[in-house]
Amino acid sequence: MAAAPTGGSSRYLVLTAMIFAVAMTFIDQTIVSIAVPNIQYELKLTSTGVQWAVNAYLLTLAAFFAFGGRLADTVGHRRMVVLGVVVFAGASACCGLTPTGSLAEAWLITFRAVQGFGGAIMFPAALAIVVQNFALRERGRALALFFGIAGGLTAIGPVLGGYLTEWTWRAIFWVNLPVAAVALVLVAISKPVTESRPAPMDYRGLALIAGGVALSVFGFQQSQVWGWSNPAIGLCIAAGAGLLVLFAFVEKRTASPLIKVDIFRIRAFTVQNLVLGISMLVFVPVFFFSSEYAQIALGDSSSEAGVFLLWFFIGFVIASQIGGRMLDRGGAKRPVVIGCVLAAIGFHLWAGDATSLSFDEQQWDVVLAGAGMGFMLSPASTDAVNRASRLSYGEATGITQTVRNYAASLGLAVLGTVLVTDLRTRLTDSLVAQGLPHDQAEATAAHLSQVQTQSGGSGSAAAIPQFFREDFAQATQTVFHWMSVIMAVAAVVAIVGLRGGVQAEVAAADEEQPLPSGPLPNGREGGGA
């Protein structure tokens, strides 16, 4: 039998437990960006190395989300939440214990990847629990609270991260430990009731999707180091794309696939994932680039940079609540389209004011960009998951989160290449204008663009040469213009691809595949047993 949504107070306790569980994954998308200059300076990492400290987390999330979603549906959602929280917290502790010296870069990147794995097996299960505990007509509001409050906790991340970083950057990882403890206590108290459907795991599919994601993103990421003329770049990207295409063919012919690719025949599911993929090229990278911008171009301290990002989340949290209610009342198309358009306008205005080197001239641009992302992200994610059977919520969430995090990794890699390339060109011109020979200026600019953040976080604009601040602001302006274009493309896809109206309840006969006869071991996670 299907597990009915639980009662009012108990389901909101479940919602609270799941918010705390996923809060760590949200916080770590932003809090690390604030500490990037300090981490890079203390551990003596290159710009590419520190980007991989951010990207390893996103990359592992993308590679293993489908696995996590499938595992949650087959083993049990609550078990995967608990296991994911424990893995994530343990990896966070190890990140905070990163040694200095030659091992630093490999150590930090490795345990950031382990963090990503913990998040990948936890997040789909947590979101599936929320979906299973709320009726269809209430999910927009429930998931708006889920993403909005989690987003609010994310907003605390940059501010808290800024102050913690001024003590020690290691504390930004250790702060996850008390959050994990609260999450585990709330899960134990709320005892969420969920369903699962035991099935064999598709490890062949896992290897193909993980390899495809890793190789393609690695190729884009390394392009700024090796250069596009290096044949290894094209080979990595082509090999990654080939593995992902092979994955789709293999899954169609696998009895118990990691991802049921036929779900993409559902128009709304496919379009929403396309919109999510496009928008996530922007959503996570904006934290990384705006943090560097605040600390380098504006000369802010890490705590001041946290306040800078807080304005983004003020818009995001408020708009996500409005978008969730619009989803419940009139369907997903209107909030998704409005959100994409507002974000495109916000990033365009932000780009225009970036070279002013004045936060006061940018703050409402930042709020508008955040509001646009808040309007569309929660409704698009909710609408996509709503298209799945209740026994496949974890899998559907795994697919949407795979798309989101793969796109975020790709966005960070591609836009990072845009930033470094543009900065290198501008620095070369500035150094030539100061009298350096062109060849020497190019070599110096290449070096400076790779160690761009080592002076950041000092809190003193005087510590950074004026020409460097201006060149970095102009390079960031280029990135923000591209973000505006990307969100405009997402708006066009939503306008053309989505249909208006509220989604109808799925008929029971169509919603579930017949379950195997006889007892299902661990098929249902009860409240007290």
Rounded Cα distance between 517 and 521, Å, is 12
Task: For residues 209 and 186, state if they share a domain.
Answer: no
8-17, 347-356, 487-496: the lowest-pLDDT one: 8-17
Residue 455, pLDDT score: 40
Q: What are phi and psi of 388, to 5 degrees?
A: -95, 160
Residue 522's CB is within 10 A of a number of other CB atoms, namely: 12
Please indicate, yes or no, whether residues 243 and 334 belong to a single structural domain of this protein: no
Q: What is the mean pLDDT of residues 478-501?
A: 93
Confidence (pLDDT) at 463: 66
The mean per-residue pLDDT over the stretch 88-96 comes to: 94
Residue 392 gets which letter from DSSP? G
Examine the domain organization and report whether 17 and 69 are in the same domain. yes
Which stretch of DSSP H or E encloses residue 41? helix 8-43
Distances in whole angstroms, Cα of residue 158 to Cα of each of 46, 242, 433: 22, 38, 37
pLDDT of residue 302: 67
- State residue 304 phi and psi, 5-degree precision: -65, -35
In whole angstroms, what is the distance from residue 179 CA to residue 175 CA? Answer: 7
The CATH number assigned to the domain holding 492 equals: 1.20.1250.20
| Confidence band, pLDDT 50/70/90 cuts, at residue 97 | very high
Would residue 311 count as lying in a domain? Answer: yes
Q: Give just the sign of the alpha carbon dihedral 56, 62, 242, 199.
A: positive
How many domains would you assign to the chain?
A: 2
Same domain as 252, residue 401: no
Query: Could you give the 3-state DSSP secondary structure of residue 194?
Result: strand
Let me know whether 156 and 238 are in one domain: no
| 135 in a structural domain | yes
- Say if residue 86 is in the same domain as residue 13: yes
508 in a domain, yes or no? no
Band (369; pLDDT cuts 50, 70, 90): very high
Residue 36 in this model has a pLDDT that exceeds 80 = no
Domain ranges, residue 216: 202-257
Give the model's pLDDT for residue 93. 94
If residue 524 lies in a helix (H) or strand (E), which one and from where to where?
Answer: strand 524-525
User: pLDDT band for position 457 (50/70/90)?
Assistant: very low
The highest-confidence range among 127-141, 156-170, 389-403, 429-443, by mean pLDDT, is 429-443
Per cent of the chain over pLDDT 90 is 24
Write the pLDDT tens digit of every residue in 165-219: 778 889 888 988 998 999 999 998 988 877 667 777 888 988 998 888 888 877 8
525 part of a folded domain: no
Q: Which residue has the higher pLDDT, 334 or 521?
A: 334
pLDDT class for 46, splitting at 50, 70, 90? Answer: confident
For residue 111, the model assigns a pLDDT of 94
pLDDT for the residue numbered 224 = 62
Q: Mean pLDDT, the chain, as a whole number?
A: 80
> Which comes out higher in pLDDT, residue 396 or 511?
396
* pLDDT at residue 156, as a whole number: 66
**pLDDT per residue as tens digits for the range 113-125:** 999 899 989 988 8
CA-nearest of 195, 149, 200, 204 to 21 is 149
Name the DSSP letter for residue 461: G
One-letter amino acid at 49 equals: G
Looking at 216, 232, 257, the residue that finishes a domain is 257
More confident residue, 508 or 491: 491
Residue 187 within a domain: yes
Q: Return the pLDDT at 290.
A: 86
Q: Taking the mean position of all CA atoms in its chain, how far away is CA 417?
A: 19
Residue 210 shares a structural domain with residue 330: no
pLDDT of residue 317: 82
Of 34, 33, 47, the C-alpha closest to 427 is 47
**Inter-residue contact 362 to 354 (CB < 8 Å):** yes
Tokens of 471: 């060149």
Q: Is the dihedral of CA 178, 181, 185, 187 positive or negative?
A: positive
* Strand, coil or helix: 64: helix
pLDDT recorded at residue 508: 40
Residue 321 CA to residue 165 CA, distance in Å, equals: 31
332 & 291 share domain: yes
Instruction: Say how many CA atoms lie within 13 Å of 157 toward its Cβ.
Output: 31
Asked whether residue 223 carries a pLDDT value surpassing 90, the answer given is no
Residue at 524 is within a domain: no
% residues pLDDT > 70 (the chain): 84
210 and 302: one domain? no
Local confidence band at 437 (pLDDT 50, 70, 90 cut-offs) = confident
Looking at the domain assignment, is residue 527 inside a domain? Answer: no
Count the neighbouring beta carbons within 10 Å of the beta carbon of residue 510.
Answer: 8
φ, ψ for residue 502 (rounded to 5)?
A: -80, 140
- Report the range of poorest mean pLDDT among 28-42, 228-242, 274-288, 485-499: 28-42
The pLDDT tens digits of the residues spanning 80-91 come to 999 999 999 999
Can you spell out the DSSP letters for 246-289? HHHHHHHT-SS-SS-GGGGGSHHHHHHHHHHHHHHHHHTHHHHH
Look up residue 431 and give its two tokens.
Answer: 């150094």
Q: At what angle do helices 363-386 and 136-167 cross, to 10 degrees?
A: 140
Is the pLDDT confidence value at 509 over 90?
no
Q: Is there a single domain that holds both residue 252 and residue 399?
A: no
Task: Choose one of 216, 237, 257: the last residue of a domain.
Answer: 257
- Determine the residue type at 172: I
pLDDT of residue 33: 67
Q: What is residue 181's predicted lDDT score, i.e. its pLDDT?
A: 94
279 & 339 share domain: yes
| Distance separating alpha carbons of residues 344 and 259, to the nearest angstrom | 32
Which amino acid, one-letter code, is at 69?
G
Residue holding tokens 């100061």?
434
Q: Tell me what pLDDT residue 434 has.
A: 85
Rounded alpha-carbon distances, angstroms, from residue 44 to 53, 95, 102: 13, 16, 9
Does position 524 have pLDDT exceeding 50, yes or no? no
Which of 234, 257, 280 is a domain's end point?
257
Q: Is the per-residue pLDDT at 511 higher than 70?
A: no
| Confidence label for 450 from pLDDT (cuts 50, 70 and 90) | low
In a domain, 1, yes or no: no
For residue 38, how many C-alpha atoms fall within 13 Å in the half-sphere facing its CB? 26
Same domain, 355 and 427: yes
d(CA 256, CA 112): 30
pLDDT confidence band for 515 (50 / 70 / 90): very low
Residue 195 three-state SS = strand
* Three-class SS state of 519: coil
